[in-house]
Amino acid sequence: MKITVIGCGRWGSFIAWYLCGLGHAVALYGRPGSAHLAQFRQTRTNGLVTLEDGVALTDSLEEAVNGAEMIVISISSQNLRALMAGLSNYPLAGKTIVLCMKGIEAKTGKRLTQVTEEFVSPETPVAVWVGPGHVQDFLAGIPNCMVIDSKDEKTKTRLVGAFSSGLIRFYYGEDLIGNEIGAASKNVIGIAAGMLDGLNKTALKGALMSRGTREIARLIGAMGGKEISAYGLAHLGDYQATVFSPFSHNRAFGEQFVRGAPYEKLAEGVATTSALLLLSNRYGVELPICRAVDSVITGGQKADRVLSDLFLRSLKKEF
């Protein structure tokens, strides 16, 4: 299969490496001037991933689109709309778009498949690739399970067959809304977990995980999805990789934030927090953990007081 991966950061480059290893013809796209792409052109490695010579490198969007049967996108979720506006200038009918990214559009509260579908016709099926795992673990040969979901059943079947291996076992998703919202919102839970680490309150992660999952389940249900999806791989199943792993950008961001230290890497959960609060108001679902994280990041409130109020002082039924 001819596949173009758009985005040559940590995940995009891993995806290109992984799919090439499965025998697909892979091209990796980076925008003109991309430092990541320049590094790959010069050395074929970014320090984590070393690409085989068979992976083509390009900064031509036209070349990337026209030569592909399938387009896998792995970029910052808040940049998806601009990318899709560019992609829509080229013929996309008959191609499949796979979103290997976790977020919600902050300004609109739209899921990423909804953003993508604004720019494509029904002849271009859209799928998501979500679930737990870190590039560092996969490259060390540590296997994991992930999820493929789409409105189109044939697309799911095709992707699971084309992408599965001994390193990644793919499950067929059965709730696109739940899997998208669950995958995005776990990054906010990751930020809260990092704040607990930074405050030396790591033991409260148990309360965070149980309450966080229930909070997101209610939102998924209100949006028309299945509440049980919050307990699947896209959300609760991704907590180990997000809430505990040293490789989690969102956890690291939360820890550094409460310590007053800068964090230069992308933490998708920051923008997702704003999007979830928009959805909270739209659907009338209380999201106290998301609201607490926002009050610390954007409201300037003290994390120690906010999290203590949330977990230690409020009187609540367990569920």
Report domain extents, the chain. Answer: 2-172, 177-313
Grouping H, G, I as helix, E, B as strand and the rest as coil, residue 228 is helix
Say which range, 39-43, 44-48, 306-310, has the weakest mean pLDDT. 306-310
pLDDT at 246: 93
Q: pLDDT at residue 304 above 60?
A: yes
CATH 3.10.580.10 is the classification of domain 2-172: no
pLDDT band (50, 70, 90) for residue 264: confident
Which CATH number is correct for 177-313, 1.10.340.30, 3.40.50.300, 1.10.1040.10, 3.30.70.20? 1.10.1040.10
Altogether, the residues listed in the chain come to a count of 319
Please name the residues in contact with 99: beta carbons below 8 A apart, sequence gap of 6 or more.
73, 80, 112, 113, 116, 126, 127, 128, 129
Scanning the chain, the segments in alpha helix (DSSP H) are 10-21, 35-43, 61-66, 80-87, 112-117, 135-139, 153-163, 176-198, 205-222, 239, 249-258, 269-283, 288-297, 303-308
Q: pLDDT at residue 313 above 90?
A: no
pLDDT at 18: 98
Task: State the average pLDDT over residues 216-245.
Answer: 97
Distance CA 319, CA 317 (A): 6
Compute CA distances 223 → 18, 82, 112, 147, 186, whole Å.
Answer: 34, 25, 15, 20, 17
Distance CA 164, CA 159 (A): 8
| Whether residue 186 lies in the annotated active site | yes
Distance CA 305, CA 171 (A): 40
Record the tokens describing residue 156, joined without a space: 């799911």
Of 67, 150, 118, 114, the closest CA to residue 279 belongs to: 114
Task: State the average pLDDT over residues 89-113.
Answer: 97
pLDDT at 311: 86
Distance of CA 84 to the CA centre of its chain: 17
Distance CA 17, CA 57 (A): 12
Q: pLDDT at residue 217 above 90?
A: yes
Distance CA 166, CA 142 (A): 10
Q: pLDDT at residue 37 above 80?
A: yes
Of 129, 144, 249, 118, the closest CA to residue 180 belongs to: 129
Distance CA 311, CA 109 (A): 27
Record the tokens describing residue 13, joined without a space: 């480059």
Task: State the average pLDDT over residues 72-81.
Answer: 97
Record the tokens describing residue 181, joined without a space: 């919202």
Of 29, 131, 21, 111, the closest CA to residue 70 belongs to: 29
Burial of 70 from C-beta contacts in 10 A (0-12 / 13-18 / 19+): buried
Say which range, 68-77, 80-89, 112-121, 306-315, has the weakest mean pLDDT. 306-315
pLDDT at 317: 57
Active-site entry in 102, 156, 186, 201: 186
Q: pLDDT at residue 65 above 60?
A: yes
Task: State the average pLDDT over residues 23-29.
Answer: 97
pLDDT per position as a tens digit, 168-202: 999 999 999 999 999 999 999 999 999 999 999 99
The proportion of the chain whose per-residue pLDDT surpasses 90, expressed as a percent, equals 94
Cβ pair 28, 100 in contact under 8 A: no
pLDDT band (50, 70, 90) for residue 318: low
Average pLDDT, the chain: 95
As a whole number of angstroms, the longest Cα–Cα distance in the chain is 59
